[in-house]
Amino acid sequence: MRQGFYSCNGILYLVVLYFIFLYWSSRLPITGKSEINYQIHFNCSGLGGKVLFFDSLLGAFSNDLAIDLGTANTLVYVKGKGIVLREPSVVAVRTDNRSKNKVLAVGIEAKKMLGRTPGNIIAIRPMRDGVIADFDVTEAMIRHFIHQVHNRRSFVRPRTVIAVPTGITPVEKRAVREAAISAGSREVFLIEEPMAAAIGAGLPITEPTCNLVVDIGGGTTEVAVISLAGIVYSRSLRVAGDKMDTAIMQYIKRKYNLLIGERSAEIIKTTIGNAYPDSENYESIEVKGRDLVSGIPKILAIDSEEIRVAISEQIDAIVEITKIALEQTPPELAADIVDRGIVLTGGGALLKNLDKLLREETGIPVKVADDPLSTVALGSGMTLDNIDILRQVVID
């Protein structure tokens, strides 16, 4: 009895120590937090197994997640619930003299601060061109979203599927895994974005037929030819929505001597952006910015044809890599593409007349997915419900 009593006390002691460690780690400032590895392993005989048991126990009370960790937006899919979170990939951080960073806001609230912060507050977009640009801030952002979808519970250890670009390097893959584990994930599985988009769009990826997906996000454009749950050909281009926003800012600055911010450029793009000349549907929008000559605020009107010209270089690049994918596709699979067409996903798929332009340039039918903004998150989440598909599409 006494031995059993001490054994129970020992287990309880380990539980308390484990929770204290997790709480202490979660209270650390962002700087240096990435050095903490939440997978604790003890060399002492008998302790390692107990700690891993408690790690699994915490996982039993956590919901498995799929994350579309995008340059512009992050979407989180919870197994059994669907997409429960859709927030901008922005973090507002306060800095002080002791070199410690404190997170003030994440997501929508942080995006409102872009271009409006005082000197000691920085609104950061930690993802650039589809990959991690700031590890510590990305970790803080993932941690915030994991806790948010778990109703702010502190001790959660979900298994997580994360979609990544096809052109990602081994170093960039490792950064994504480490950020997710440090943020609280128990296990991390990576899936390529165009594969996730194809699954989310309802394409028959496991069948011996060809599917061509063009996924246009904020940081990258992914083009992939998919058959039998594998990618036959893929190309990743770091030209997408963000580069279009930058092009709009530069065009207005060059032509009108007017300085506008990222948010204004994005609003212009989503409101009157057009990929194809359309004289019948003339649209315009008022733009507010700072006149570079007088230095005072100014308002002017911009029309959709000007925006088409402004983003034409980026659109041409997307059309070109789509043509290259068609040229590189084996003949038998190319015949399937002629029959099935091209599927557009991602936020860029919503750009007016982009499908029409691609159809004209390639001579192949083009279809926009039903919910292009959500296809990657939906596809990643659907693999949580089908372990056989997850095994086939997960990457090392």
DSSP assignment string, 98-148? TS-EEEEEETHHHHTTTT---TTEEEE--EETTEES-HHHHHHHHHHHHHH
Same domain? For 67 and 139 the reply is yes
Residues 250 and 265 in one domain: yes
Spatial contact of 141 and 89, defined as CB atoms under 8 Å apart: yes
- State the pLDDT at residue 281: 80
List all residues 6 or more positions away from 8 whose beta carbon is below 8 Å from its beta carbon.
none
**Same domain, residue pair 382 and 367:** no
Query: Is 217 found in the same domain as 80?
Result: no
Q: Which helix (H) or strand (E) holds 251?
A: helix 241-256
User: Do 366 and 384 belong to one domain?
Assistant: no
21 and 162 share a domain? yes
Torsions phi, psi for 94 (to 5 deg): -100, 135
- Helix (H) / strand (E) element for 85: namely strand 82-88
How far does the chain reach from its first CA to its final CA, in angstroms?
Answer: 48
pTM, 2 dp: 0.82
Alpha-carbon separation of residue 56 from 13, 257, 292 (angstroms):
17, 59, 59
* Among candidate residues 168, 210, 215, 190, the one with its CA nearest the CA of residue 318: 215
> Rounded to whole angstroms, how far apart are CA atoms 251 and 259?
10
- Tokens 């915030």 belong to residue: 144
Structure tokens at 228: 């039998």
Residue 296 belongs to what domain range? Answer: 241-312
Kindly state whether residues 148 and 248 are assigned to the same domain. no
In this structure, what CATH number is given to the domain that contains residue 41? 3.30.420.40
Torsion sign across C-alpha atoms 75, 357, 316, 115: negative
Same domain, 100 and 120: yes
CB 374 within 8 A of CB 83: yes
3-state secondary structure of 170: helix
Residue 28 shares a structural domain with residue 117? yes
Work out the angle between the directed axes of helices 312-328 and 241-256 (0-180°, nearest 10). Answer: 150
Report the DSSP pairing between strands 230-237 and 258-259. Answer: unpaired
Q: Are residues 118 and 221 in the same domain?
A: no
Residue 176 shares a structural domain with residue 322: no
Q: What is the full per-residue pLDDT of the chain (396 aa) written as tens digits?
A: 445 444 555 555 555 555 555 444 444 444 444 333 333 333 333 434 433 444 444 444 358 999 999 999 999 999 999 999 999 999 999 887 655 678 899 999 999 888 788 878 888 999 998 899 999 999 999 999 998 998 766 567 889 999 999 988 999 999 999 999 999 899 999 999 999 999 999 999 999 999 999 999 999 999 999 999 999 999 999 999 999 999 999 999 999 999 999 999 999 999 999 999 887 888 999 999 999 999 999 999 999 999 999 999 999 999 999 999 999 999 989 999 999 999 999 999 999 999 999 999 999 999 999 999 999 999 999 999 898 999 999 997
Domain end call among 275, 294, 312: 312
Are residues 175 and 321 part of one domain? Answer: no
The amino acid at residue 315 is I
Total domains in the fold of the chain? 3
